[in-house]
């Protein structure tokens, strides 16, 4: 008899895979499953030792690496929590770039502002810039436990992934949630695939699935310095910037690039203080990457 199982983590030619109510086992994968990622569902043979089929996925979060290659991060995601903290200093550009990938999955984007125990400085004043995007920011502290009840409630019953810069506290948040809200306690985040970073602390190197007791899961993902979403077309870009796309419909020219055209509704919105200039800068930078990405794709 075959069985359906979940990929908890992917490591090169191997993957940690768990059947219902069983702890994950590390299995070697056939080459045809090279695309398999954390969160994927697979079929195992009767022995449970071999992956025989990869099930269809709802969606998959991917990035482009420095060589333009497609890198799969995790699959079957409902909600992506972009984690920021006072330290390391948040990059709004990184948030803008994540949003393109998230809104195209599609999945719900949320902003998680960690390390609230560090005081009022932990609340960035530029949050208003994202009001239109409904990121519904949640303020938490993995260290003090502040806001974790709200976080657990907001995450219940769905597959959640934490993304963001290295050191914002993604693994600490998963650990705190595991401890307080009885997720499957057999696998604590520290047993995931960790490597010592330069500062002597641990850093996550591959996405890791943590099932919630009542369905759904948390996925901890490796910290990033930068993030390049896949952007095959201007339509993809527009889905990532609904605030710009909406105003762009009012531009005088249908093919307005929002650069210096007369009657540009996007530039007018910036002039009026309704849209941050940084959002349009991020748009232009990403629009410029479309042709190169298409060339790399061949």
Ligand X SMILES: Nc1nc2c(ncn2[C@@H]2O[C@H](COP(=O)(O)OP(=O)(O)OP(=O)(O)O)[C@@H](O)[C@H]2O)c(=O)[nH]1
Closer to ligand X by CB, 132 or 203: give it: 203
The footprint of Zn ion (CB under 5 A) covers 251, 256, 258, 264, 266
- 29 near ligand X, rule: CB under 6 A: no
Q: Give residues 117-156 in contact with ligand X (rule: CB under 6 A).
A: 117-118, 141-143
Give the chain's end-to-end CA distance (angstroms, integer): 42
What track of x and - describes contact with ligand X for positions 165 through 204 (by CB under 6 A)? -xxxxxxx----------------------------xxxx
What track of x and - describes contact with ligand X for positions 153 through 172 (by CB under 6 A)? -------------xxxxxxx
Closer to Zn ion by CB, 180 or 250: give it: 250
Closer to ligand X by CB, 174 or 264: give it: 174
What track of x and - describes contact with ligand X for positions 41 through 80 (by CB under 6 A)? ----------------------------------------
Question: How many other CB atoms are found less than 10 A from the CB of residue 260?
Answer: 7
Q: Is 171 annotated as a binding residue?
A: yes
- 208 near ligand X, rule: CB under 6 A: no
Tokens 């502002």 map to which residue?
113
Pick one of Zn ion, ligand X, none as the site partner of residue 222 (Cβ within 5 to 8 A by kind): ligand X
259 burial type by CB count under 10 A (0-12 exposed, 13-18 middle, 19+ buried): exposed
* Site residue total, ligand X (CB under 6 A): 20
Pick one of ligand X, Zn ion, none as the site partner of residue 247 (Cβ within 5 to 8 A by kind): none
Instruction: State whether residue 128 is helix, strand or coil.
Output: helix
* CA dist list (Å): 122 to 7, 81, 139, 168: 35, 17, 9, 12
Q: Which residues of 52-85 are buried (b: 16+ CB within 10 A; e: fewer)?
A: eebeebebbbbbbeeeeeeebbbbbbbbbbbbbb
Tokens representing 40 are 């994927």
Closer to Zn ion by CB, 258 or 279: give it: 258
Angle made by CA atoms 129, 230, 171, in degrees to the nearest 5 = 65
d(CA 261, CA 184): 56
Closer to ligand X by CB, 196 or 272: give it: 196
Q: Nearest residue by C-beta to ligand X? A: 223
Closest CA to 80 of 62, 96, 98, 65: 98
Q: Is 170 annotated as a binding residue?
A: yes
Annotated binding site: which residue ranges? Answer: 114-117, 164-172, 251, 256, 258, 264
Annotated binding site for GTP: which residue ranges? Answer: 114-117, 164-172
């Amino acid at each position: 008899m075959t069985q359906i199982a979940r990929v908890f983590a992917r490591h090169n030619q191997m993957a940690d895979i768990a059947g219902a109510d069983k702890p994950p086992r590390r299995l070697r994968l056939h080459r045809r499953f090279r695309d398999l990622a954390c969160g994927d569902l697979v079929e195992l043979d009767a022995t449970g030792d071999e992956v025989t089929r990869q099930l269809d996925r709802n969606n998959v979060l991917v990035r482009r690496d420095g060589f333009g290659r497609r890198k799969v991060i995790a699959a079957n995601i409902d909600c992506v929590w972009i984690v920021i903290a006072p330290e390391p200093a948040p990059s709004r550009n990184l948030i803008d770039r994540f949003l393109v990938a998230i809104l195209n999955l599609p999945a719900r984007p949320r902003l998680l502002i960690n390390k609230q125990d560090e005081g009022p400085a932990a609340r960035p004043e530029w949050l208003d810039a994202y009001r239109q995007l409904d990121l519904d920011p949640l303020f938490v502290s993995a260290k003090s436990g502040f806001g974790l009840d709200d976080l657990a409630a907001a995450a219940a019953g769905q597959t959640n992934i934490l993304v963001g810069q290295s050191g914002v506290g993604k693994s600490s948040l998963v650990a705190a949630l595991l401890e307080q809200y009885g997720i499957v306690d057999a696998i604590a985040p520290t047993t995931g695939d960790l490597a010592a970073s330069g500062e002597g602390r641990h850093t996550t190197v591959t996405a890791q699935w943590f099932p919630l007791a009542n369905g759904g899961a948390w996925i901890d993902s490796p910290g990033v310095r930068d993030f390049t979403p896949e952007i095959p077309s201007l339509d993809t870009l527009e889905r990532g910037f609904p605030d710009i796309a909406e105003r762009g419909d009012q531009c005088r020219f249908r093919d307005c690039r929002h650069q210096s055209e007369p009657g540009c509704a996007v530039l007018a919105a910036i002039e009026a203080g309704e849209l941050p200039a940084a959002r349009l800068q991020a748009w232009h930078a990403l629009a410029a990457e479309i042709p190169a990405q298409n060339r790399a794709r061949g």
